[in-house]
Structure 1
Amino acid sequence: MSTVIEQPVQARMVASAPQMETLPAVLSYDRTDPFAVRMAFPAPATLEGTEVSWEFSRELLTAGMDAPAGVGDVRVRPFGYDRTVLEFHAAEGIAMVHVRTAELRRFLRRAQELVPAGEEHRFLDVDRSLAHLLGGSR
């Protein structure tokens, strides 16, 4: 069984203009980092012209689909009956994207099959994480 889940999603960039631009993004979840979810935007979709990836907790994504969640760099909230807004806060500004809630729920179901919520601690490699924090490798 693979330890990584990747799921392409269509995100709509919210801008001051009335029309929202659709851009591809990839959600990923890795069993070896069981608390985190990543959302990557390809180089053509970013101002810098390089791929940008945001990492945030699976719990934040889950909670934010039903009620506003997050107070840091990533915030998630429902929008209407079928969309979820993800806000990414950086020194350069705020990027807001809409994603279909059904796509997010499908992704989270797949992650739940890989690592059930509440069981994340069973998949942590504490020795490797500690070595990484201390600047070594294992």
Structure 2
Amino acid sequence: MDTSIEQLTHARLVTAGDREVPVSTVIRYSTDDPLAVFVDFPAEAALDGEEVTWTFARSLLDQGLRAPAGHGDVRIWPYDRTRTVLEFHSPYGLALLQFPAAALRRFLVRSYEVVAAGQEDMAAVVERGLSALFDGV
């Protein structure tokens, strides 16, 4: 049975002119994909006017709340005592968002209440990955 949590979180999109634009996001966690965190952005925050979902490792969020983390498309670091930056890279550009660190910590704690760190069902994750890989063959 899938257990999911969602949390509405207000962020600030930092624009090229260092202007900050408020953006409402939804952060999600699901036991169907226990290693991942999903961040949903509304259409008005996207370049093409479509809703966007970014997926990245829950452990990356955990690490990024304490120290700079990430080397690829998603990078996370503490900005100051109250804010955390999430940086998303795509072929279309870069999005830099500041989130309230307390809101991200609260979400992470709730996700660990559902599935503790290190207790993720890896057999199910591997099975889904193999199924997705070979269904297209």
TM-score by length of 2: 0.92
Q: Could you report, residue by residue, the CA deviation over 1:93-118 in whole angstroms, capped at 9, with x for unpaired residues?
A: 11000000000000001100000001
Shift of 1:68: 0.3
Structure 2 contact 2–32 (Cα < 8 Å) conserved:
no
**Cα separation, 2, equivalents of 1:99 and 1:128:** 31
User: Which runs of 5 or more residues in structure 1 are unaligned?
Assistant: none
List per-residue Cα deviations over 1:62-113 (Å, max 9, x = no partner). Answer: 0001100000000000001100000001111110000000000000011000
Deviation digits for residues 40-59 of structure 1 (CA, Å, limit 9, x no counterpart): 10112211100011000000
Letter of the structure 2 residue corresponding to residue 109 of structure 1: V
Deviation at 1:130, TM superposition (A): 2.0
Does the CA-based 8 Å contact 1:34-1:123 persist in structure 2?
no
SS of the residue corresponding to residue 66 of structure 2 reads coil
- Which residue in the other structure is 2:49 paired with? 49
Q: Which amino acid aligns with 1:78?
A: P
Counterpart position of 1:75 = 75
Contact 1:41-1:53 within 8 A present in 2 as well: yes
| Superposed structure 1 runs of 4+ greater than 3 Å apart | 125-129
TM-score, normalising length from structure 1?
0.91
Alignment correspondent of 1:101: 101
Could you say which residue in structure 2 is the equivalent of 1:117?
117
Q: CA RMSD in A?
A: 1.7
In structure 1, what is the equivalent of residue 61 of structure 2? 61
Aligned to 1:15: 15
Gapped runs of 5+ residues in structure 2?
none
User: Aligned residues: percent identity?
Assistant: 46
Aligned residue identity for 2:96: M
Matches within 5 A, 1:27-46: 27-46=27-46
Change (3 A) 1:127 1:66: closer
When the two structures are aligned, how many residues end up with a matched partner?
136
